[in-house]
Structure 1
Amino acid sequence: MDTLPDNYQDTNKAQPKISKIINQLAFLAIAFGIIIRLSQYINNRSLWGDEAYIALNIVNRSYLELLQPLDYDQAAPPGFLWVEKLTVQIFGNNEYSLRLFPLIAGIVSLFALYKLGKWSLSALAIPIALILFACLKYPLYYATEVKQYSSDLTIGLLLCLLLIPLRDRILKKRKVFLLGFLGIVAMWFSHTAVFVLGGVELASLITSSASKRKAIVINRLPAYLIWLIGFALYYFLIISKSLKNESLQTSWSPEYPQSIFDILWLLDSFGRFFHKPLGFGGITDGIAIFTFVIGCITLYKNNRTKLLILISPILATLTAAYLHKYPFRTRLILFLTPYFILIIAEGAAFLLSRLNLAKFNQQQRRNYVGIFGIIITSFLILPPVFQAGVFLFQPETKYELRPVIAYIKEHQQPNDVLFGDGGGTSAQLEYYAEKFGYSKSQYVVGYNDFLKKEAISDQVWLDYQRQFSQLQNQPRVWFLFSGIGLKDKRKEIVEPRLDRLGQKIDYIGKPGAFAYLYQLK
């Protein structure tokens, strides 16, 4: 690869006019990121299965009970659960309250990424990173989901901003103990804080001067001991209980490598990361990987310390995955997306920095690389910007069961009963039934596998009928469904099977959810 262009090293010392434009682009990206997150929040989509499960734990448990293993195969850090519980108590049990903390975390993360980018990136890379972070699907979506992934991401960034300025400093005792205390607080609010905390601090020690390293370790030893003791307590009191959950372990097991020599798993996991949780799709997936590699090479040549610190949380998480202690999968590693985005942005900025229109004849080859950089950057930025723009006017929905239940409430007769299919619908039904004034005698959480495409044997159908026997004294029943791919299953599977039970009277459909009213035989 060619040596870095002369103008690249001085990117942060750009002419005032160019620097002003770049800063304006950065703040425009932050503003757009806030607007699109607020738009998603205000749209107030229905809670889907996992959100409803965690909401039921938050609403129905006390603060002390939230320290125990959660119901419905859920796991979340106690700090996150306590904030959610407090928010619900203050603002009421509703979607806005439950999503407020993730929203605040999502907005704070935009500013935190900007600060981290100011330290780690060239000036041109900062607006690119912010545009990507503001618009990419999954960092955007999880900023308004009732799960801990948005706060995991934000806490990781805040830890970076805390630790990086302290790299080569000898701290006073008060600050050492404060550092230890903040580390424990971060762990109790985020399962993934330990990867950022340990990774960044270890990278800082490795890259510090040899003459000073020993003094830094001795100086911060109390903080390290506090972290170690705090993590040990947290692990045995909270995490170890979640690890005993067989359902969680079964769902996580495919995301672990087979051995420490499982390179194919590493390459596959690395490639899949750019699709989810980063959110690149189609050809942009490969372009993002290419630009990430360019960014790594650029940072390696320009400042190896910054590269090591940026990738240290990634390396720490991969180490935990190889030890089968933390799954390297989709939303569970959303907190790593900022570090990938920063490196991708640096790769794009390097390619763009090769462009010099004023000296096209003398530097023709360099300009070709710069033009290539414009094309690459456009492919990276334009699709997520377009998608985010669509979300601004058509906010994303998932399984809209709430308006379905609202319709039923308006059109039902006094003795009508609600019957929800198994899985996520049961959680949604249990959460929303109470909010709409249904007692537990007015709804039934029922069958599983009713939506499978495979033919139902006579024996399986008898099992269903035994479950439906709960409704034998209720002639009119509303059957509720929500989940993935329901549109295709409604005519093909659901109606023919329900027709065996009685006569269809009414139907209501919303995105990802629908309900039938049947007069039972």
Structure 2
Amino acid sequence: MGVRGWVYVALVPLVAGAAARIWHWAHDRPLWLDEQMIAINVRDGGGFRGLAGPLLHHQSAPLGWLWVERAFLLAFGSGERVLRLQPLLFSLATLVLVWLVVRTWFGPLGALTAALLFGLSPALIRYAAELKQYSADAFCALALLALAAWAAARPRWTHAWWVAAAVASWLSMDAILVTPGLAAVLVGAAWRRGGWRAALRAASLAPVWLAAAGVHYLVALRYTTGEPHLRPWWQQRGGFPDGSLWSWLAHRPAGLAADPLRLPEGPVTVGFWLLVAAGLTVLLARRTPLGLLLAAPLATGVALGAAHAVPLASRLAIWLLPSLYLAAAAGVEAIAALTPRARIPAAAGLTVVAVGAGFVLVPQIEYALAPPRLVDGVDDRAAMAWLAAEHRPGDLVLVSVSSIPAVRWYSSMGTLRPGRFVRPVPPGPDCSPQALPAALAGQRRVLAYSGIRTDPATPAVMEARLAEQGRIVQRRDFRAGVGWLVDLHPPAPPAPVLPGLKTSCLQLSAFGRR
């Protein structure tokens, strides 16, 4: 089989990756907390115009992406599969684009490596079946990178690249981040090729992109960027430097390997980063424009993370995966080129790479084949169905604060009134032992639910305080969530006090309008 024939072997992991994505999407998992908050905005956020303003629950998503979600909801309904259809389509389009790219950029070994990495990436599989914009981020980053490489070799396509960047800026906030670095490489290549006049021609449509990104910011993004309460959250998770900048930089490879790359610790992680470094080095030396294009997003990500502007960690770094995966594929090609062809035929080389990559990607393969799991371990959909089935007129409904989006999405606050949102509070001025008895005065039954455990003590505190006020006649587990049905008449005998919960109180707030 010739070299071009072996390149087609790369279709196998790409097709397998597409099947894994469709399998996870078709499983129809209930929405988890972050998805619920996005879904509430799409359904109840005031239509297309309302999505352009501040989003409920401090959410942030590209306006164009939200509009597509709204259009799908209006056309096909609000089921989980419908809401996750756009992420699936973006992820499948990414695999098609990978196939087009690796056929022209790499030989058989590099093509197979890139296909394995993209096709079986746990992050890309997960976000193909999740109501978040991250699959669009990965697609737009790869598309702009591929189009930039095409434009670098064919300058007449530079204008088309600017138009694509303008469109992408409304579908992906990360597309806005990746564009300046790629543009600098394109303009620099034009300047080197034809002087300042060529550079000006290459940058002539930059105002189109600036206008598109600027309008997007003024219309929507300015309401959702720079959330102050998220900065310390991401800093604790390594997204921003917490102390020494150099120490943070030294720990970034391991942090990114854990998430979003999801590589095993130890030699596998070290080997991956060595492949990335080797690939970038060889490309910068032999195919300089392509090497610079792959390096530009990585440099941008490091700079933005060091400046505390964009976290360089977890799902918010998913836009770096295309550059990393393609650089690693180039590294495999470079290493393979060091081996004389006469000693290791192409078939044997492909077999070695496939087996080695299989061992490297065991966690990814297991993730792709495993039944889709609940992200936060809570089945809010079943819990809300239970609440609706058990609810009687006059029942008081108590729901943990973290379950507010679940109630808004899967149930109706109107039918669940009277209701209160509760959170545990430690001893202090906010701790009022009489708040719960006062709320229960005159009630005969209480329905309570604690979903995602943003505070691990919430279920235990709720159960202990409810047991003091009445008799728990039903306790239901919804994976990690817990529901209780409490009969307040006759009053329950004194309940045993759990260690550490004796002085904890429940703070109550009435249901809002929605």
TM-score over 0.5 for the alignment? yes
SS of alignment partner, residue 457 of structure 1:
coil
SS of alignment partner, residue 61 of structure 2:
coil
- CA–CA separation in structure 1 for the residues paired with 2:155 and 2:78: 47
SS of alignment partner, residue 72 of structure 1:
helix
Asked if the contact 1:180/1:222 (under 8 Å) is kept, the reply is no
- CA–CA separation in structure 2 for the residues paired with 1:323 and 1:485: 28
Q: Which residue of 2 aligns with 1:476?
A: 445
Asked if the contact 1:170/1:216 (under 8 Å) is kept, the reply is no
**Of 234-243 and 106-115, the range deviating more from structure 2:** 234-243
Q: Which residue of 1 aligns with 2:423?
A: 448
Aligned pairs for 1:19-418 (under 5 A) are: 19-24=4-9, 26-60=10-44, 61-171=46-156, 176=159, 179-207=161-189, 210-243=192-225, 245-252=227-234, 255-257=239-241, 262-283=245-266, 284-351=268-335, 359=343, 377-391=357-371, 395=373, 397-398=375-376, 399-418=378-397
- CA–CA separation in structure 2 for the residues paired with 1:468 and 1:242: 39
- CA–CA separation in structure 2 for the residues paired with 1:343 and 1:97: 35
- CA–CA separation in structure 1 for the residues paired with 2:22 and 2:418: 34
Q: Give the C-alpha shift of residue 237 in structure 1.
A: 3.9
Q: Give the C-alpha shift of residue 278 in structure 1.
A: 1.5
Q: Give the C-alpha shift of residue 514 in structure 1.
A: 2.6
Asked if the contact 1:52/1:428 (under 8 Å) is kept, the reply is yes
Partner deviation per Cα, 1:108-131 (whole Å, 9 max, x = no partner): 111112223334333212222222
- CA–CA separation in structure 2 for the residues paired with 1:77 and 1:374: 38
Cα distance, 1:107–1:471 mapped onto 2, change above 3 Å: farther
**Of 179-188 and 467-476, the range deviating more from structure 2:** 467-476
Q: Give the C-alpha shift of residue 78 in structure 1.
A: 0.7
The residue type equivalent to 1:288 in the other structure is F
Identify unmatched segments of 5+ residues in structure 1: 1-14, 364-368, 451-455
Asked if the contact 2:114/2:326 (under 8 Å) is kept, the reply is yes
Asked if the contact 1:171/1:219 (under 8 Å) is kept, the reply is no
The total of aligned residue pairs comes to: 481
The residue type equivalent to 1:216 in the other structure is A
Identify unmatched segments of 5+ residues in structure 2: 492-514
Partner deviation per Cα, 1:282-317 (whole Å, 9 max, x = no partner): 334344334333433443454333222112112122
Q: Give the C-alpha shift of residue 441 in structure 1.
A: 4.3
Asked if the contact 1:150/1:335 (under 8 Å) is kept, the reply is no
- CA–CA separation in structure 1 for the residues paired with 2:190 and 2:201: 14
- CA–CA separation in structure 1 for the residues paired with 2:458 and 2:213: 49
Cα distance, 1:122–1:303 mapped onto 2, change above 3 Å: farther
Asked if the contact 1:504/1:516 (under 8 Å) is kept, the reply is yes
- CA–CA separation in structure 1 for the residues paired with 2:318 and 2:437: 41
- CA–CA separation in structure 2 for the residues paired with 1:490 and 1:321: 34
The residue type equivalent to 1:20 in the other structure is G
Q: Give the C-alpha shift of residue 484 in structure 1.
A: 4.7
- CA–CA separation in structure 2 for the residues paired with 1:199 and 1:326: 15
- CA–CA separation in structure 1 for the residues paired with 2:212 and 2:91: 27
Q: Which residue of 1 aligns with 2:502?
A: none
* Coordinate RMSD, CA, aligned: 3.3
- CA–CA separation in structure 2 for the residues paired with 1:484 and 1:350: 47
TM-score of the superposed pair, with normalisation by structure 1: 0.82
Q: Give the C-alpha shift of residue 31 in structure 1.
A: 1.5
The residue type equivalent to 1:475 in the other structure is R
**Of 90-99 and 199-208, the range deviating more from structure 2:** 199-208
TM-score of the superposed pair, with normalisation by structure 2: 0.83
Partner deviation per Cα, 1:128-154 (whole Å, 9 max, x = no partner): 222222222221111111111111111
SS of alignment partner, residue 478 of structure 1:
strand
Q: Give the C-alpha shift of residue 397 in structure 1.
A: 4.8
Asked if the contact 2:449/2:482 (under 8 Å) is kept, the reply is yes
Give me the identity figure in percent.
20
Cα distance, 1:349–1:171 mapped onto 2, change above 3 Å: closer
Cα distance, 1:471–1:91 mapped onto 2, change above 3 Å: farther
Q: Give the C-alpha shift of residue 328 in structure 1.
A: 1.9
Asked if the contact 1:352/1:374 (under 8 Å) is kept, the reply is no
- CA–CA separation in structure 2 for the residues paired with 1:186 and 1:516: 47
Partner deviation per Cα, 1:166-200 (whole Å, 9 max, x = no partner): 1144438xx83x55443222112211112222222
SS of alignment partner, residue 261 of structure 2:
coil
SS of alignment partner, residue 443 of structure 2:
coil
Q: Give the C-alpha shift of residue 323 in structure 1.
A: 3.4
- CA–CA separation in structure 2 for the residues paired with 1:320 and 1:213: 30
Q: Aligned match of 1:432 in 379, 395, 410? A: 410
Q: Which residue of 1 aligns with 2:432?
A: 462
Q: Aligned match of 1:515 in 478, 483, 498? A: 483
Partner deviation per Cα, 1:39-83 (whole Å, 9 max, x = no partner): 111111111111111111111122112111212111111111111
SS of alignment partner, residue 158 of structure 1:
helix
Asked if the contact 1:45/1:397 (under 8 Å) is kept, the reply is no
